[in-house]
Chains A and B, each alone.
Chain A
Amino acid sequence: MNFATGTLRIGARAADLKTIAYRLAAALAICVVLTAASDVFLTTNNLLNVLRQASLLFLLASGLTLVILTAGLDLSVGANIGMSACIAASVIKLTGSAVLGAMTGVGIGLTIGLANGVLVALMRMPPFIATYGMLWVVHGVTYWFMAGTTIYGFPPGFRALGSGHFLGVPIPVYLMFVFLALGTFFAQRTTYGQEIYAIGANREAARLSGVPIAKRLILVYAVSGAMAGLASLVFLARMNSAEGDIGEAFTLPAIAAALIGGTSLFGGVGTVSGTLVGALILTLVLNGMNLLTIDASWQPLVTGVIVLLAVFFDTLTRKGEA
């Protein structure tokens, strides 16, 4: 028998690989269709543009994926982007230091994430409720802080984070691959990752196996918050201006990217790389609609259909295994 050699691959990880392969195939199919339909699609400029847009979505959704793996949810990521960006912006304006501003942005994001973690893990609130409440609180504080003003015009060194290039490739794309590697390493190659999957698969069994549930939950919400803080910097650098309501449009697309990527809201199933493919699929479709000059008002409908299709597909394939 080949237990240890792993020649038989009928396992959970093989299922993950299959999930991702199907999605990559779907992404390729979309590319083929768009290449045929539009002259502009298969140009270096456009493809880099797609990657840059996907990178922001992925940075936000990668941390969120870890939360969803524990059968949790973080609805406050969009509000988090708003607050982190606005406070980072004013620190840069006040001190003139991009580094200090960036550290503040990630720090604010991390703090919001820690607060979510405490509400969920220590005060035992349902994640939906805790982070939904946090969404409003963070929005409220940001609006009060900004009082309707706009902060704009940042040093070029900072702006490079969002709109700069290295070897012709946008900087955020490098960030995307760095965090893909970090996220995948954390989820698959550390015992923390193993415990996070176990919590999502059966929280009580994980608890009775000695997994410190509260610590791990606080960790994933903190990571999700810090990633929102980082995403806010990329967004701020790209937009070169900050207002109280930036970020509001990001929460639902980030959840969509994770779901399209095969992460289950019931927890215990999904991968960070799947979320990257999910972000790519979503961005490709929206990019294609732009190129084909389809009215932007159709975008929510199309996003919804893709999410439903992806989840329906998973339900079908997972039923087959059961």
Chain B
Amino acid sequence: MNTSVPLLELRGISKQFPGVKALDDVSFAVYPGEVHMLVGENGAGKSSLMKVLCGAYRADEGEFFHCGEKVEIRSPADARKLGIAVIFQEFSLVPYLSIAQNIFLGREFSGRFPGTVDHARMHAEAKKLLDLLGLDVSTKTLVHELGVAQQQMVEIAKALSQQARILVMDEPTAALSDRETERLFTMIRQLQADGVAIVYISHRMAEVFSMGDRITVLRDGRKVASLLPGEATPDELVHLMVGRSVDRSYARTFCKTAGEMILEVKDLSSANGVKGINLTVRSGEIVGLSGLVGAGRSEVARAIFGADRVTAGEIRLHAAPHRGGPDKAVAAGIALIPESRKAEGLALIRSVCDNLMLPGLPLAFPNRLYKTSKARQIAGALIDRLRISTPSALRPVRLLSGGNQQKVVIGKWLGSGSRLFIIDEPTRGIDVGAKAEIFALIDQLVQQGAGVLMISSELSEIVQVCDRSYVMRDGRIAGHLSREQLSEESILKMGVHHE
């Protein structure tokens, strides 16, 4: 099936971001009619590589070859000219336009008069593409009426209409049912037969081995292996994905005997795709909630906190049943440090003091009268305790660095009387020094008798920091690992699909 010249070849690609080398000398080739699987744990560099491929990032170093000829990919337009199209997990379709309008958005066929559109031709061309993909829906259907799988087909049709010869797909089966997945695979095989090359990012071992013609493993921005499906077992592949020496920079004394029960979750399901969750957090322990991105970890946090609607199950706090929105949760002593500090954690235009005071307002001022001097005093103490680097408590928080912003997001809960801290990605986008400080702070919290439920995509963090961890997959708890069982490999084995 392979001809000797790759359709696209990357040689020695590197991409540096402040503080992290996202891609380090990665070489990668994809041949016509080939499905090339790209695997690696969270943060291994898959997304960066994909963005370099589609021109969203510019590589710092490295060369590109198209059918053996040296080319440049400096912009999305360059990538499109070479026939590279990316199907992201988040679709870029316009919900209230028809299938045909979406496929030809911005490239409409002009009609007889300037400024008009030849609708008949547009629908005819769209119909041809849908027939090719085996999608039996009218081209006039509005996209928002379609299911996820069908929307994905429309994305693919759009890519093909732009003469795409290299399709990059980011976990295309993540949101599909078994039947839809089967249909997608049939379509992929058809495209293969037509000589289209497919770069396929996946966490599911079954499809990596059944669909892949070649597998490339990334780890920490480097290519660690490129092999054929027959050359490794799923377990060996997982080992390749992890296999790094563990960095022991946040050593802590683990909790030997946990205290009284703080949080008990029984059969919890939420409107946001969380199913039958059972978990507990006791005083004095840091409990991990790990798994791959998209496994539903943040959704569990939001359901416990009342930010998403709970559809079934029970939450007990200090043995008493708990129910209600975030205001009830905060009053009951739960703190949520959300995943996205800018969108969910901070009022960026307000001052450090205002942000630090917000959740603790009812506690600091029980009679509801706000005293500026008292607020400054409390905020000043928190700034000192957390060593937040700011010239003044009155500085707008948007002017702080990422690490200091994260300290504010955590610090604002220290004055709110919280006993349970749910921390979602505590170290996202901050440098190593701030990371160590934040873990020291979390350790302090549990020393003082709090319980912590910690979500992290960095498996090494879970392994180094947590007393034990739950592992999630597809919105469910896939398993539980004790301190002794915890390793990146054991988490990954539990978190990926084997079936």
Contact = CB atoms under 8 A, between A and B. Distances in A.
On whether the two chains bind one another, the answer is yes
Interface of A: 1-6, 8-14, 188-195, 197-198, 201-202, 204-212, 268-269, 321-322
Given A197-B350, A208-B345, A9 B358 contact: no
Contacts of A188: 370, 372
Contacts of A198: 347, 350, 354, 358
A4 B394 contact: no
A191 B360 CA distance: 10
Contacts of B338: 208
Greatest chain A CB density within 10 A among B346, B358, B362, B365 is at B358
30 contacts: A2-B392, A3-B379, A5-B376, A6-B376, A9-B394, A11-B395, A12-B349, A12-B350, A13-B351, A188-B370, A194-B358, A194-B370, A197-B354, A198-B347, A198-B350, A198-B358, A201-B348, A202-B343, A206-B347, A207-B307, A208-B305, A208-B326, A208-B338, A208-B344, A208-B345, A210-B329, A210-B330, A210-B359, A211-B327, A269-B349
A192 B368 contact: yes
Interface of B: 305, 307, 325-327, 329-331, 336, 338, 343-351, 353-354, 357-359, 361-362, 365, 368-372, 376-377, 379-381, 383-384, 390-396, 398, 412, 416
A8 B347 contact: no
B392 A10 contact: yes
Given A193-B370, A210-B326, A4 B358 contact: no
Given A195-B361, A210-B326, 19 more contacts: A3-B393, A4-B381, A10-B392, A12-B394, A188-B370, A189-B369, A194-B354, A194-B357, A195-B358, A197-B350, A198-B354, A207-B325, A208-B336, A209-B326, A209-B412, A210-B330, A210-B416, A212-B327, A269-B349
A296 to B, nearest CB: 39
Contacts of B376: 3-6
Given A4-B380, A10-B394, A12-B396, A209 B359 contact: yes
Contact of B349 (A4, A192, A201): A201
Given A206-B358, A209-B358, A4 B393 contact: yes
Given A192-B368, A208-B338, A202 B393 contact: no
Greatest chain B CB density within 10 A among A10, A191, A207 is at A191
A60 B331 CA distance: 35
Contacts of B391: 8, 10
B358 to A, nearest CB: 4
A210 B347 contact: no
Contact of B365 (A3, A191, A205, A321): A191
Contacts of B396: 11-12, 321
A219 to B, nearest CB: 12
A13 B353 CA distance: 11
Greatest chain B CB density within 10 A among A8, A205, A207 is at A205
Contact of B346 (A191, A195, A205, A207): A205
A73 B400 CA distance: 31
B347 A11 contact: no
A210 B393 contact: no
B411 to A, nearest CB: 12
A197 B351 CA distance: 11
Contacts of B307: 207-208
A70 to B, nearest CB: 12
A201 B305 contact: no
A202 B384 contact: no
A4 B361 CA distance: 18
Nearest to B362: A191
A202 B394 contact: no
B1 to A, nearest CB: 50
A12 B372 CA distance: 13
A1 B365 CA distance: 26
Contacts of A1: 384
Contacts of B346: 202, 205
Nearest to B418: A210
Nearest to A13: B394
For the complex of A and B, 10 pairs with smallest distance between CB atoms: A11-B394, A210-B330, A4-B380, A201-B347, A3-B380, A8-B392, A212-B327, A191-B361, A202-B347, A209-B359
A13 B351 CA distance: 9
